[in-house]
Structure formats: C-alpha cells, structure tokens
Structure 1
Amino acid sequence: MKQASGSSMRILLVDDVQMERMQLAIRLKQLGHTVEMASSGKDALEIYPSFEPELILLDISMPNMDGFELSNIIRDRYPDWVPIIFLSSHDEPTMIAKAIEAGGDDYLIKPVDKVVLNSKLIAMQRIAFMRRELKQKSLALAKANEELAKLAQEDGLTKVKNRRSIDEKLTEMVAIHGRHNLPLSIILLDVDHFKAYNDNYGHIEGDKCLISIANALSQLFVRNGEFVGRYGGEEFVILLSHTDENKLVHDAQRIKSKLESLAIPHEYSNASTLVTVSQGLLYMKPTGRENSELIYEQVDKALYAAKLAGRNRYHLVD
C-alpha cells in the first residue's frame, strides 16, 4: 500500500477531457498531493486496487461509463469508504442531488475555482487523516485479537495446543471422521520418571525438558490433520487424521527414535539413561457420537499398560 505523508493525499482524478484533466492534475500536484489520472471509468477501475486512493475527483459526463455508474460500482466493490467529489459543468440542484444519491460526498462546478478547490481539499485532508488513524488502530486491534486468540489455544510453557484447544479439536475430528467413515488415531504419551527428573535436576531443567519434547513432537507432526497438545503436566497428546493402525505404530516408533536422538540425560530413570516416554495408542473409526472423555480413558489404559510393561515403549488399545 502506498502511503502519503503529512497532509498530502492519494487522489484519483477521472476525466475524459485531457486538457481539463492535465490542468487539474498539475494544480493538485503543486499542492503536494499524489495524483493518478484516468480518462475513463474502465481505466479508473484498473488503477483503483493498487493505488488505493484517499480521494476521488470524478467527472460526471463521460462516454461508455458515466461518473454516476462508476461511483456505484466503486461503492459496491470496495466497502472501505473513500470520499468522491463529482466534477460537472451542470449546477442544477437536481444534478447535485443525483450525484449525492450515486454515492458522492461533494460537488464541484467546472471550471473549478482555485479557492473553492483548496477549501474542499482541506476538508478532505481532515477526513483522510482520520481514516488513516482509524485504519492503523483497527490493524493494531486486529493484531492484538489475533494474539489473544492464539494465547487462548496455546500452552504457555511448551507453545503447543493447550488441553482446552486439543479437546475441542478431538471433538471436531470425531464428528468429521464419523461423518465420512474415516480412521482417526490418538497417541497419549507420558515422560518416564519425570518426577525424579524434576527432583534431581530442578524445575528449570524440567521445563526445558518438556519444551524440548514439545518442539520435537511439533517437528515430527507437521502435516494437515496432525495436532500436538499438552494434555497436562508431563503428558502430551497427538491427534492424527486419516491414520490407520500401521501408520499409527510407525508414528509411535518415530517418536521413540526422535526422543533417543535428543539424548537428554536422565540418570534417575529405571527405563533408560536418557529421557524416554511411554505411549498409549488408539486407532478407531468413529461413528461421530463418541464421548471425548471415554476416548481418553481408553488411550490412558493403553498408556498405563506401556508403563507396566517397563516404560520406554508403546501399547496399542486392543
């Protein structure tokens, strides 16, 4: 977007009479404004999107597409309101009224008087300044709202999805997969002997460990339909769309290998000398009516079975 500085404006001047168009453009540029000229409505519509005018000076009498028609098209096509001042040699009240009805904001009689033009431009500069201020504030507000929405779905420590967000995603996926008879898989994993890790290495190192695991999982699962979330504490959950039993087991093996490659020391674990995880796996073809809590109960039982079997492994729900 081109930006005018100070009190200058981006002005789109539309007039089919070349001499009048050039004379008025010179006057506008002398006053410090940025001017784009169009000799027809068609040319004006081509210029408009890239130029993003802050004021339109529009001749009424033009062949093929008159000023009224062009004004109506602009108002219909671009919801962001830009002031339009009509130019015409007609000074009849009915013509002025028709111009306002067509979306015009003001009216100048040709030949344009310099003093009147300057006064109109000063008023339009005030509007342009307020519109810029409003646009900047709107952009800042939209950015702030976007950040707030992201924070509402994000775990504060690990930056993956939080429990609320991952629960909502599971509910949504169960409904969609049930409707289309598609497979859905879930992995619930728990860091082995994490309490011992925290107790001996300290909570700061414990947080670093969880962040490293979350980053590793986020790197592994990047496809559309793959979601990583923090279930709570040292537990993470992974939702996998369109994933059958074979791929689910393959993904569990990928997680195991990835954790080994991180090589985070854990001298106080009975499962390994490195940080490892136990995984519960669930493959299902939902009907769309399944309860999320019951699904979590099933995959949690599989996780418990993996822990009973010695940890640092995965267990698939029968």
Structure 2
Amino acid sequence: MRILLVDDVQIERMQLAIRLKQQGHTVEVASSGREALELYPEFNPELVLLDISMPDMNGFEVSQQIRTRFPEWIPIIFLSSHEEPAMIAKAIEAGGDDYLIKPVDKTVLSSKLVAMQRIAFMRRELNQKTAELAKVNKELEKLASEDGLTQVSNRRYSDARLAEMIAVHGRHGLPLTVILLDVDNFKPFNDNYGHIKGDQCLIAVAQALTQLFTRSGELVGRYGGEEFVVLLGHTDVKQAETEAKRITQALATLNFPHEYSPTASHVTVSQGIACIIPKGRELPDDFYTIADKALYQAKHQGKNCFVISGDSE
C-alpha cells in the first residue's frame, strides 16, 4: 500500500517507517499535520497512520481536514499512547477508522495492515471498474448521439442541441442559423455508381462539412438520407451567406466525381437557410420547416445554390 505516516517524534517515525517498508509498503513521512496535508494530494495514500499529539495541529484536526478536503474515503488509523475510551471515541468522531496504542505491537500492526490492504485492493478494483464503466458509458453516449455511417451527429442529438441553442439565443436576443443541405441528384448517383459508392459520397460530404465547422457553437449532423444540417450559433444573415459560400467552395474543392449530374461534374449540394433571432419558445421543427422551404426554393432555382430565409438582417 501507499502509506502516509504522520508523527512529530523523529525516532518513532523512522522506526515505524522502516518496519512498514520491510513489509513491502511505499511510505511517505510527515513530521507535522500541515506537512501531511501538503503531501496528501500528490502522494494519494491508501492508508494514513496518524499521531494524535502534535504541536501545530493535533491528529483530530488533521483527520477532519482530510475528510473535508479530500472526499474520497481513505482509512485513517490513529497512533497514541492514550488508552482512555473517551480518547478512542473522539478519534472515531474525528474521522478515524481505527486506533493503535503506542508503542505499537508488531503483531497487532501487521494484522491491521493486512486488513487495510484488503480494503486497498478492493478500492483499486472498484476504481478500475468505475473507470471501465465510465469508458463504456462514454462509448455508449457517442453511439447514441452519432450517425453510424458518416460519424457526424445523428438527428436525435442535433434536435436536442438545436433546442438548447434556441433557448440560449432567445434569452439573449442573438441570431441563430440552421442550414439544411441536400446532396443534388443523389438518386442517379446511387443508381449508376451503386450504394457503396453512395455511402462513400455521403461520408466525404460529412467530412468536408466537419472540417469547416469546428468551433464552439457549431454542429454538423445528418438530417436523414442524403440531407445534412449545420447549426451555427451567433450567426446573422450576412455571416450565414458567408458560411453557405464556404460550403459550396468546399465541395467544389472536394471534387467528388458525379458524371450523371446535370448540375455539375462533381457532387454539389443545395442549401436552405433559416436565420432567426428566436424568442426562446420555438421548437426545432419550426426552424427546420423554414429551412426546408428555403431548400425547396434552392432546388427549383437550379441546385448547387442557397436560399436564405430569416428575420435577423
């Protein structure tokens, strides 16, 4: 175990430290309560052996400080020459777990350490299981919020984030932009190149969008099928226009071939943009409806373009 030994009497401290090290423990010694509290967080002990009678802070005060400042429970065994029941009771009330009478009997000490070591092993196993569980939960959370094909946010997570953004932007009177994107002429792409190539196309578009929008307050999600959504916080009409042009340019640079498209020789998208200063009571579908109408207009204007609808000019 990692044992923090706190005793202001040097000879007793040294003798006990040697005995503990001989039993295979890692020992950090402190000659005062204040020194012990300074060493504690970095050493991260699994057991504290704590003298009661010390000049600057007595053992009771040190124990109370440990319990207050370091919430993770670590066994504390008090060391004292006092045998009075009232003293033992006070030690337990101060946060102690056991009490040994000085001079400490070797056999008693060894037995106590065996018991404490069992606790330390259980704590290590518990911490390991907790860490593993946290990792699994993180992976599950990712799976629950991520589109399996494109690795961007799924519709459920995008809706939840948009609802949060509506509330925040409404509270502060800030413009919020939602861009719905639809891959142009995707059916002829799938029909002629096949669905595997179609999946590769969607992945490429998703990656291009993800590289564009990496700042806090920006989110890229898959809306459904060949449609994507981009959420842009603190974004007015002028900024939304700039971002839409960036998207068009990014796909031109990507230059993913689409020889069956009447629009261009590469994969393009049409964009419908809702740019609104919300009141905070709107639903995500309110934004999607506005953006979808603008997307419909962009499709009928020849595709590979964008239409903005909003009230934040």
The two structures have a TM-score, normalised by structure 1, of 0.96
User: How far apart in 1 are the matches of 2:86 and 2:274?
Assistant: 75
Partner of 2:95: 103
1:171 pairs with 2:163: yes
User: How far apart in 2 are the matches of 1:162 and 1:12?
Assistant: 50
Q: Any idea what SS the aligned residue of 1:131 has?
A: helix
Task: Determine which of 112, 118, 122 is the counterpart of 1:120.
Answer: 112
What amino acid maps onto 2:67 in structure 1?
R
What amino acid maps onto 1:54 in structure 2?
E
User: How far apart in 1 are the matches of 2:282 and 2:129?
Assistant: 44
Deviations 1:92-113 (A, max 9, x none): 1111111111111111111111
User: How far apart in 1 are the matches of 2:35 and 2:249?
Assistant: 61
Partner of 1:11: 3
1:57 pairs with 2:49: yes
Q: How is 1:210-229 mapped onto 2 (pairs within 5 angstroms)? A: 210-229=202-221
1:70 pairs with 2:65: no
Q: How is 1:289-308 mapped onto 2 (pairs within 5 angstroms)? A: 289-308=281-300
Q: What's the C-alpha RMSD, in Å, of the aligned pairs?
A: 0.9
Partner of 2:275: 283
Partner of 1:5: none
User: How far apart in 2 are the matches of 1:253 and 1:29?
Assistant: 69
Q: CA deviation at 1:186?
A: 1.2
Q: CA deviation at 1:266?
A: 0.5
Partner of 2:37: 45
Q: CA deviation at 1:294?
A: 2.4
The two structures have a TM-score, normalised by structure 2, of 0.97
User: How far apart in 2 are the matches of 1:294 and 1:36?
Assistant: 63
What amino acid maps onto 1:273 in structure 2?
S
Q: How many residues align?
A: 310
1:141 pairs with 2:137: no
User: How far apart in 2 are the matches of 1:29 and 1:218?
Assistant: 55
1:266 pairs with 2:258: yes
Q: Any idea what SS the aligned residue of 1:317 has?
A: strand
Q: Any idea what SS the aligned residue of 1:240 has?
A: strand
Instruction: Give aligned-pair identity as a percent.
Output: 67
What amino acid maps onto 1:51 in structure 2?
F
Over 2 Å off, 4+ runs: none
Structure 2 gap ranges (5+):
none
Partner of 2:228: 236
Q: Any idea what SS the aligned residue of 2:303 has?
A: coil
What amino acid maps onto 2:42 in structure 1?
S
Deviations 1:217-253 (A, max 9, x none): 1110011111111100010001111111111001000
What amino acid maps onto 2:225 in structure 1?
G
What amino acid maps onto 2:173 in structure 1?
N
What amino acid maps onto 2:117 in structure 1?
Q
Structure 1 gap ranges (5+):
1-8
Partner of 2:239: 247
User: How far apart in 2 are the matches of 1:294 and 1:108?
Assistant: 70
What amino acid maps onto 1:300 in structure 2?
D
User: How far apart in 1 are the matches of 2:59 and 2:212?
Assistant: 58
Deviations 1:59-93 (A, max 9, x none): 00011210001101111111211001100011111
Q: Any idea what SS the aligned residue of 1:65 has?
A: coil
Partner of 1:180: 172
What amino acid maps onto 2:212 in structure 1?
L
User: How far apart in 2 are the matches of 1:176 and 1:310?
Assistant: 36
User: How far apart in 2 are the matches of 1:248 and 1:195?
Assistant: 28
User: How far apart in 2 are the matches of 1:175 and 1:32?
Assistant: 58
User: How far apart in 2 are the matches of 1:12 and 1:298?
Assistant: 65
